[in-house]
Structure 1
């Protein structure tokens, strides 16, 4: 393919315009980011607003339980959820490690499924925060069992 001078002449006037557009102040990403950050901080400083605290759902459920005088139940459920999450960590480590093996990983996954089913079936009046966590654990467990049975880890 040959490049002719008449083809180059059509592109040359556009190149300086593009360079000028990029060099214009206020068009760079950093400039726009600084403007947004400055705009976002200004109302908070003038109004004296404080950002909302970050709440751990497991701790919040304990606080809700104290108010509703079911603190023991919430603490027990929170402990069970933590136990299940620890087993998920063990399951992931078993799959990642060469010494673990698929049998022990499936055994751990089966234990997790049993505990999640017991937790979901045994506790009908869970706090909304913990109920959402249990629902996610149930979905994750079903998905992992499907992937395991399909042969994704073989």
Structure 2
């Protein structure tokens, strides 16, 4: 294809039309993005409220009661133990993620797999300690089932070699 004066002038004319179209009242991406960010920031500042200093705990407790969430004092010994175990399992998940993120050759993966096995055994122990968890406390049962699914999924990823 030969480049002639006609093709270059047609190209220049098309480019000038595009420039005119973008500057003639149509917002560019930068303008739209800046406006959206500004709107989001104003909405976030409007949503965040500072809790009152005096009696703040009373208001929080009343909100918890209004939402139907039972305070920790009303929990049974079994529920408290299960919550402590779930808390320790979540801490183990953080350790597991840190081990994977460390990127150490071999040793990091071995340690991460050990943490994963500890998580899996902790979930199994929790299910054995409270066999009727799904019926007695469906929320806790759902959380424990989710932890079990995550542990099994991560084990499959390890065995498949995703982290090598």
Task: Give the TM interval when normalised to the shorter protein.
Answer: 0.5 to 0.7
CA distance in 1, matches of 2:137, 2:22: 56
Paired residues in the alignment total 139
Aligned-residue RMSD, C-alpha: 3.8
How far apart are 1:30 and its partner, in Å? 4.2
What corresponds to 1:134 in structure 2? 144
Provide the C-alpha distance between the structure 2 equivalents of 1:39 and 1:148, rounded to a whole number of angstroms. 43
- 5+ residue gaps, structure 2, are 50-63
> How far, CA to CA, are the matches of 1:109 and 1:8 in structure 2?
64
Greater RCO, CA 8 A, separation 6+ = 1
**Higher alpha-carbon deviation: 135-144 or 113-122:** 113-122
Deviation at 1:84, TM superposition (A): 0.9
2:47 paired with 1:51:
yes
CA distance in structure 1 between the aligned counterparts of 2:111 and 2:35, rounded to whole angstroms: 54
Instruction: State yes or no: 1:6 paired with 2:27.
Output: no
Could you tell me which residue of structure 2 aligns to residue 80 of structure 1? 85
Alignment of 1:105-124 (within 5 A): 105-120=112-127, 122=130, 123-124=133-134
Quick one: which of 94, 110, 126 aligns to 1:89? 94
Shift of 1:77: 3.0
Q: CA deviation at 1:18?
A: 1.1
| Contact kept in structure 2, 1:25 and 1:31, CA below 8 Å | no
Contact in 2 for aligned 1:113/1:141 (Cα 8 Å): yes
Residue 109 of structure 1 contacts residue 141 of structure 1 at CA under 8 Å; is this kept in 2?
Answer: yes
Unpaired runs of 5+ residues, structure 1, are: 45-49, 54-59
- Normalised by the size of structure 2, how large is the TM-score? 0.59
State the distance in 2 between where 1:75 and 1:13 align: 74
The verdict on how the C-alpha distance between 1:134 and 1:105 changes in structure 2, with shifts beyond 3 A counting, is same
- Per the alignment, do residues 91 and 33 of structure 1 end up closer, same or farther by CA in structure 2, a change over 3 Å counting? closer
3-state DSSP of counterpart to 2:47: coil
Q: Distance in 2 between matches of 1:66 and 1:113?
A: 29
Aligned-pair distance for 1:66? 2.4
